[in-house]
Structure formats: structure tokens, C-alpha cells
Amino acid sequence: MSARFRGRLGLQQRVLPSYRAPFFDMLARVCEGGLEVFAGKARRSEGIVPGEPRIARHHHAANLHIFSGPAYLCLQRGIRTWLRDWDPDALIIEANPRYLATASALGWMHDRGRPVIGWGLGAPPMSGALSALWRSSRTAFLNSFDGLIAYSQRGAREYVEAGFPAERVFVATNAVEPRPAAGPPRKRTTGAPTILFVGRLQARKHVDWLLRACAELPAPHPRLVIVGDGPERDALQQLARRSYPAAEFVGSRHGNDLESSFLDADLFVLPGTGGLAVQQAMAHALPVIVGRGDGTQDDLVREANGWQIPADDYTALARTIQIALADIDRLRRMGEESIRIVKDEINLESMVAAFGEALGRISPRHR
């Protein structure tokens, strides 16, 4: 059982997507004074499905989105009013310097001697003419927090390498599924295997490569099910009609419909970067092929349950899919290891426990 936080917890997010609501509810259960999440709306172009927790409270922030792409900034108006009204004993806030209200929130909490923990992906190495200046600025920003929670082991190492004290860095490996209650589901043993993709249909996901790779496989060709929506859907469907007509675009799925998609699949493939669906796939006993990304994949995907490939290497993707489908019995064993990893190591319960540990160990004396 996770350690309880005896105070009132505030948690800031830019947005509150549907996949995060179960985590916030689980975290709220270990906060004796309650949990309130300060989060606003995403831009319409992002295609993020908003969520509403049932136990945690949601204070709707007024997000002002400034610029786009690499220059993107977000100002969340009203954060000090929220802090005054909720009056949290501790605050967890996204460790992202692009969010302009962070300094104000840090100042409000620290003026009252209360700890602030940053939560983020890490601090990747920088290069270029101004890299020394940017590194110095980033180090100063990170050191304004009392502790840091990283999504992955790699992210934690990056925070330490950026100059943050190792004893105040914690790892809460990114998860969206709880610990599975049952063992691996029974899979069919006949017929063509099913490859599953779940995610936003955008260029960086390389779904076009997945279509091409399936088309180049020797017969019998696998069934390819693509779950999701996004700006690239029309173009991908046109490509599929020319190159792989058997591909099934089923749109966004949630709840039992999404559950059925995972249970019907034999192999999960995420060619590009990002995607919390990897942990979901593993919770349903699927072996996985994923593009290397922010470090979360390093913790989830190992030789025993899948393959990590360069996110920009089509040849590696095509070769790995062919290797994976060549031995269905091996795929079943890898799927069993996937569900073991989620059951024993990486799940919502362990994520909440890591947050509880950070809250228990970080106090005003660390400032």
C-alpha cells in the first residue's frame, strides 16, 4: 500500500487528458487532505481527449496558448488565486520552463515554506552555439524545485547530470493501466496474426511506414488494425487503399471497445515516438515493437518482451516486424513477459507509490 500524504496536495498540469484521470483518482486516495488538479484546455488541433477525475477535484485553469512548435509557451492564468483558495501543503507541478506561471506558483509556495516537486520527462543534452547559456538557465530553473519526479530512469539520470541533487530525484515510470488482476488472456492459435497500432494519427507516428512494411511482408499478410484519429487519417487511408487495402482504420476507441482491440491482437507496433499505449498493450499480454523516444520505452521494453528500434529507421521497422511474426510461439512467451512487467513493476499503483515516496521525503528543510 502506498504511503499516505497527511496534508492537502495541489497538482498542476497544462491539460487533464482522459488517460490521466485514473492516476489522479488513485493518488487522491492516499492524500488525507484531498487532491485538486489545476489544469486547462488543450488546443483543438492537439486532439487530446479531456478527462474528469471522480475522486480528485479539478480546478479548470484558463490556458493562454502562445505561439506554436518549438516556440510554444503557455500561460495559465489564475494559478495564485487557485493556490490561495485550495491552500495546498505541497505542490506538484510540471517541470517545464515553457509554462509561464511556474515561477509565480513556486514563489507563492516557498513564501509560505511549503515544498514544490517538479514532474517531467528529464533534461536531454543540448548542443549548439547557445547551449552553455541554455544549460545554465535550465539548471537554475530545475534547482528552484525541492524535488523532481522523472517519467523514466533515463529522465532521472538527465536531471542529475543537469546538476540536481540525486537524493532528491525520484522515478515514477509512466503508466496508464493498473496492476492486472488476471493472467495472460488466451490467444487464438490459427489464422493470420493481427498487428495493432493505437495512437494519434500524425506524421511523427510513422503509420505510413507501418502500412508499407506490412505490404512488403511475404504471404500470408497480417491483419493490421489502426486505432486512433488525427490530421493524417485521410492521407493514410488513401495510402492504404493503394498499398495495403486490408488495413482497418477503426477510429478512436475507448473503454470496452479499446479493450477488445488489445485482446484481439498478437503484436503491438508503435513505429514513431511517444505513446502511453505501450504500457496498455503490455497489460494485455502483447509483445511490442516501439520507436525509441523519451526514455519511458527503455524501462518498459526489453529483449524478453519486445524490440526498441530507431524512430527514424524504416529498414529496422520492416526487418523487426518480419522477425517478430516468424515465430508465433515466441510472441506468446514475450507477451507473458509483458504482462509480468506490468503486474510486478510498472503500473498505476507503483506510480502512485513513487509520488508518495517523493512527498514523504521532500520537506521544507531541503530548500
CATH number of residue 294's parent domain: 3.40.50.2000
Alpha carbon dihedral 257, 262, 268, 272, in 10-degree steps, equals 30
A 10 A CB-CB count for 45 gives 10
Domain assignment present for 283 = yes
Same domain, yes or no, for 141 and 200?
no
Distance of alpha carbon 190 from alpha carbon 178, whole angstroms = 30
**pLDDT tens-digit map of 41-85:** 999 888 888 999 999 999 999 999 999 988 999 999 999 999 999
Same domain, yes or no, for 272 and 284?
yes
Closest CA to 211 of 271, 296, 164: 271
How many Cα atoms sit within 13 Å of 105 on the Cβ side? Answer: 33
Same domain, yes or no, for 72 and 136?
yes
For the chain, the helix, strand and coil percentages under 3-state DSSP, each to the nearest 5 = 40, 20, 40
Domain assignment present for 183 = no
Same domain, yes or no, for 314 and 274?
yes
For residues 50 and 19, is the Cβ–Cβ distance under 8 A?
no
Taken as a whole, the chain contains a residue count of: 367
Same domain, yes or no, for 24 and 93?
yes
Same domain, yes or no, for 50 and 100?
yes
Helix (H, G, I), strand (E, B) or coil at 336: helix
Same domain, yes or no, for 362 and 239?
no
* pLDDT, mean of each 10-residue run, the chain (367 residues): 86 96 98 98 90 97 94 96 98 97 97 97 82 86 97 95 96 95 76 93 94 94 95 96 96 92 96 84 96 83 95 95 96 96 97 96 62
Same domain, yes or no, for 69 and 208?
no
Same domain, yes or no, for 340 and 220?
yes
- What pLDDT score was predicted for residue 2? 66
Centroid of chain to Cα 268: 16
Domain assignment present for 54 = yes
Domain assignment present for 2 = no
- What pLDDT score was predicted for residue 275? 66
Domain assignment present for 247 = yes
Q: What is the pTM of this model?
A: 0.93
CA angle 68, 70, 74 (to 5 degrees): 50
Query: Of all helices (H) and strands (E), which one includes residue 13?
Result: strand 9-15
Distance of alpha carbon 121 from alpha carbon 325, whole angstroms = 32
Centroid of chain to Cα 222: 28
Same domain, yes or no, for 309 and 338?
yes
Spell out the residues 6+ positions from residue 118 whose beta carbon is closer than 8 angstroms to its own.
Answer: 92, 93, 94, 95, 142, 145, 147, 148, 149
For residues 10 and 90, is the Cβ–Cβ distance under 8 A?
yes
For residues 346 and 279, is the Cβ–Cβ distance under 8 A?
yes
Domain assignment present for 317 = yes
Domain extent, residue 24, equals: 9-175+347-366
Side chain identity, residue 73: L
- What pLDDT score was predicted for residue 306? 97
Instruction: Give, rounded to a whole angstrom, the gap between the first and last alpha carbons of the chain.
Output: 29
- What pLDDT score was predicted for residue 365? 46
Same domain, yes or no, for 65 and 152?
yes
Q: How many domains does the chain have?
A: 2
For residues 349 and 178, is the Cβ–Cβ distance under 8 A?
yes
Same domain, yes or no, for 51 and 113?
yes
**pLDDT tens-digit map of 109-156:** 999 999 999 999 999 887 777 778 878 999 999 999 999 999 999 999
Domain assignment present for 188 = no
Look-up: residue for cell 492521407?
235
Side chain identity, residue 84: R
Domain assignment present for 189 = no
